[in-house]
Structure 1
């Protein structure tokens, strides 16, 4: 029986929040992994996650076809995780989500490699959000080049070092109130990063349906108000939750898009919050979910306290009843 060590998986964007978890999951399954990133020196920290020589960071810019082809040379499977939340300069949503996805998929088609493409729940070519439109364009470009590609659409992903729960917990440290854009009624289905990584590893294993789109969500559907309250409870921060109409939030975002850290808010992020980000009934019926892959998703209430304790006023050992 052939070992997975004979299979080379190239992971584009493997040094990011989701990427590092995907690399770890693939290491546990004994794949050889090439991590293709713009700055490989910032991905060397991944190497201890595998055996000696199992992980090899290489330089690649997904906006450059020759760079992508060189990084992909000899690969059996390609995982495309590249994505951005805040565009800057040449790193635009269109360039990274749409055009780069087509570049990666075409290069994979040329060498006959299987493709796993990671998008996002809410991807919609008719959306008012540029993020959502370009995510949909990336899916389309991928399937046009490689019709058998597996598309993975996670809901909002949480876990240590995320830019979701950590962001709001950090905001609660410095602000007496937390904003609820649109009243905090937008429904989310937060999914644990470890579960998403396991699903992507399953796709690499060949356990997913060719050409299918999987939607990955956690076990609970929560409103933004419920999520904010949960973060406040976990971090022992008594904060006001103030409703902020979409129009006013978008006006504020014109200025806050230039703010640092947790204060940053862009008009496109406000637009994204106008629609729910939950697993569709069609995906559930077709079994194109975590449960369909045999993965029991972890709830945010069970995982978030394990890493958000650092935002408590007195740290990890603060008694909840003190």
Structure 2
């Protein structure tokens, strides 16, 4: 395996930290871009990684950091934005990939790995999915003899430190006995974070992946209600999950848009109208047998159980 000089965008996030650890363990030289290096000093223990502070939306900063690199990995994405205009999604998911591609061209970077989203499409109902599609199109238009792109489109990603199961676990722990759930019939095929980072790392030198887009899902499909009830079971929490009809789901999203941290938004509601489920199994080219929710979740949700508090 060849060793690479990699610039990693989004390397301080849930997926990014695990990918940085895997790449560093393999001996790759990694520069991780961040707005505030002091918040992510834990990454400094990685022997071949270093943090560089700056604004990834600054084209000149990107050119400086891409200089001398052969690979760029872009994991940056947001689930919600300030306001409702869609401009935040456009900036993060469409405009940034365009800047990344341009900086790659100007500095001679030959490989780009890009994080998209399952069922990203221009015709999708949410800003999130539409702008993810625009970014994906931008990077794949740049594919050529001297510049090779691979994009990944995961369903919801789970694992220790995730913002999915952990969020429901925290809410359920405080639930008084009833838990109103928006969009209870929305379907997901959760994929384990370590399976996601493995395919990113394994695709670096795999010519079969050049120019390809891969849907990434776990082995099993669940409704949102089934996931929440499973989390409650793991917590030993007796709670009645009350599935809200479409109108009340919309109303809950409209109200929570203004709650601190924006835990649920109308754009999230619109995204949930598209089932996050793969049409096929895990891509055979990677030789991965994806881990199931039942194999992994009990290990990291145990902290929410009464005896763990």
| TM-score normalised by length of structure 2 | 0.92
**Pairing 1:208-227 to 2, within 5 Å after superposition:** 208-227=208-227
Q: Aligned pair 1:69/2:63, yes or no? A: yes
**Separation (CA, whole Å) in 1 of partners of 2:57 and 2:300:** 35
**Separation (CA, whole Å) in 2 of partners of 1:61 and 1:232:** 40
**Separation (CA, whole Å) in 1 of partners of 2:87 and 2:75:** 15
Aligned to 2:11: 14
**Separation (CA, whole Å) in 2 of partners of 1:138 and 1:85:** 15
Shift of 1:83: 0.7
Shift of 1:245: 1.7
Shift of 1:3: 5.2
Give the conservation status (yes or no) of the 8 Å contact 2:5–2:71: yes
**Separation (CA, whole Å) in 2 of partners of 1:112 and 1:279:** 35
Q: Aligned pair 1:36/2:33, yes or no? A: yes
Aligned-residue Cα RMSD (Å) equals: 1.9
Aligned to 2:293: 300
Q: Following TM superposition, where does structure 1 have runs of at least 4 consecutive aligned residues deviating by more than 6 angstroms?
A: none
The CA deviation string for residues 170-217 of structure 1, in whole angstroms up to 9 with x for no partner, is 0101123233323x2221110010110101101223365211001111
**Separation (CA, whole Å) in 2 of partners of 1:44 and 1:146:** 35
Distance 1:290 1:232, change over 3 A: farther
Distance 1:116 1:277, change over 3 A: same
What is the SS of the residue equivalent to 2:308?
A: coil
Q: Of 299, 311, 321, which aligns to 2:304?
A: 311
Shift of 1:64: 1.7
Aligned to 1:140: 137
**Pairing 1:85-164 to 2, within 5 Å after superposition:** 85-88=79-82, 92-113=88-109, 114-147=111-144, 148-164=148-164
Q: Aligned pair 1:26/2:19, yes or no? A: no
Aligned to 2:260: 260
**Runs of 5+ in structure 2 lacking a partner?**
none
What is the SS of the residue equivalent to 1:167?
A: helix
**Runs of 5+ in structure 1 lacking a partner?**
317-322
Give the conservation status (yes or no) of the 8 Å contact 2:195–2:290: yes
What is the SS of the residue equivalent to 1:149?
A: strand
**Separation (CA, whole Å) in 2 of partners of 1:202 and 1:76:** 16
Shift of 1:91: 7.7
